[in-house]
């Protein structure tokens, strides 16, 4: 179940959130995070301090996003993925379930990263 806009503002007062953001309960978000419009964040997601998530991103359940990560527009991140600190993911990329992206990696626009 998603939190109401009022619950989001109360739970995460130190972050900037765009319009239409939907966050499930049980999410942890660090300070100084910027989340663009129309982002969906599933239950159990952890987002580190200083991360930036652009518009239209879908983050499924139990994902970890490290501090200082930058997630471009319209990216989809599958459940149980780990995006370590300072990772950059270009727009329209797809990160599959159970994928781990190491620190400081750059993933290009339209990339598809999956585990076989």
pLDDT per residue of the chain (116 residues) written in tens, 0 to 9: 899 989 999 999 999 999 999 999 999 999 999 999 999 999 999 999 999 999 999 999 999 999 999 999 999 999 999 999 999 999 999 999 999 999 999 999 999 999 97
Closest C-alpha among 70, 68, 59, 52 to residue 109: 70
**Which residues touch 61 (CB under 8 Å, ≥6 apart)?**
24, 42, 43, 44, 45, 79, 80
Q: How many CB atoms lie within 10 A of CB 101?
A: 21
Instruction: Annotate 26-50 with b (16+ C-beta within 10 A) or e (fewer).
Output: ebebbeebebbebbbbbebbebbeb
- List residues bridging with 71 in a β-sheet: 53, 89
pLDDT of residue 116: 76
Q: How many CB atoms lie within 10 A of CB 57?
A: 24
pLDDT of residue 109: 96
Is residue 4 helix, strand or coil?
Answer: coil
Long-range contacts of the stretch 88-95 (C-beta < 8 A, 24+) = 91/54
User: pTM, whole model, 2 decimals?
Assistant: 0.92
Domain 5-113: CATH superfamily is Hexapeptide repeat proteins (2.160.10.10)
pLDDT of residue 1: 82
pLDDT of residue 36: 94
């Amino acid at each position: 179940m998603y939190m109401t806009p009022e619950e989001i503002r109360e739970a995460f007062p130190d972050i900037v959130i765009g319009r239409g953001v939907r966050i499930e309960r049980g999410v942890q978000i660090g300070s100084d995070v910027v989340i663009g419009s129309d982002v969906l964040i599933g239950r159990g997601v952890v987002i580190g301090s200083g991360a930036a998530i652009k518009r239209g991103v879908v983050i499924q359940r139990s994902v970890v996003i490290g501090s200082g990560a930058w997630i471009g527009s319209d990216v989809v991140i599958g459940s149980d993925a780990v995006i370590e600190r300072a990772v950059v993911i270009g727009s329209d990329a797809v990160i599959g379930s159970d994928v781990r992206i190491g620190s400081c990696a750059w993933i290009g626009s339209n990339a598809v990263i999956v585990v076989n």
